[in-house]
Amino acid sequence: MTDEVQQPKNITISVHGNEICERLKGTGYFEDLQDAYRTAIFVALAEDLPDNLDEDPTMKPVQNKWDTDAVFRTKGNNVEAALLAVGVTPAETITRGKRLAEIGLRHLLSKMERNVDILDVIIPPFDLSA
């Protein structure tokens, strides 16, 4: 169904976002930069972060050009499917995903700078009321 939508072959990431990915990888909790990037998308969604960046950070000089399928559609960690599940329209999955990732990465950076353990941010706590 998403095949019908024209999507870019590659995705870009901002220099700042790339730096944050590097730092997140340094915590040891992520396989690679893309893993951190993917997680950031869901952090932004989980935290209901406002999806209103003034401008598209990926339009600035970029650090990486990643294969879109590798980031969003890998079998086994299909980000696009999860985005569709939470109501993102097929036409928007990549553009929205990119914005969410950049916002999520900045949020994670702010947590790291306050010495918060990243695992406390990315893993939802046990529901004590359950």
Partner 1 sequence: MKLLNLKMNDFMAYRGEHEISFEVSEASPIILFLGENGHGKSSIQHAVRWCLYGETESKKIAIPPQQLINRKASQGNPFSANPEMSVVLTWGADGKKYELSRRWTVRNSGAQGEATLRIDGGNPVPETAIPHFVNRYLARSVAHFFFFDGEVQDEFDDMVSNAKSAAFIKNEIENLLSIPVISQGVTWLKSKEHEQYEAIAKASKEDKKVSKASQALVEAEQERSVYVSEMEQSKKKFADAEARIITMEQEMRNASEVEHLISARDQLRGEKNSLKNLRNLKIEELRNVLFSNPWIPLATKLLALQESTDSRIEASRQKEVEVAKKRNELDLLTAMQRSHRCPLCGQDKATDETVALRVQELLQDLEDQTSDDVVELTTLQHHLQQAHVNSAALTEVRNLKKEIDSFGSQIALTDQALEAKIRDLDLYGIQNAQEIVMSIRALDEDKNSAENEIKDYEKKIAECDREIAVHKSVVSRGQGVDPALRKKYQSYGYLSELLGQVKVAYAQQIKNKVQNYASQTFMSIISDPKFAGLRINENYGVDLLMQDGHIDNLKSTGQGKVSTIALVSGLIKTAMTEGFILMDTPFVSLDVGHREAVCRWAASSGLYISFFMHSGEYNEEQILQYLGGKIGRVYRIQRIDSNESTVVAEQGGF
User: Which residues are at the interface with partner 1 (CB under 8 A)?
Assistant: 28-31, 35, 38-39, 41-43, 45-46, 76-79, 81-82, 84-86, 119, 121-124, 126-127
In the complex with partner 1, which residue's Cβ is closer, 60 or 123? 123
Shortest Å, Cβ 96 to partner 1: 14
Lookup result for tokens 């960690």:
77
Yes or no: say if 68 and 7 are a contact pair by the CB < 8 Å rule: yes
Yes or no: say if 72 and 79 are a contact pair by the CB < 8 Å rule: yes
* Maximum Cα interatomic distance, the chain, rounded to a whole number of Å: 47
Opening angle at CA 96, ends 32 and 77, nearest 5 = 40
Shortest Å, Cβ 44 to partner 1: 9
In the complex with partner 1, which residue's Cβ is closer, 15 or 82? 82
In the complex with partner 1, which residue's Cβ is closer, 3 or 54? 3
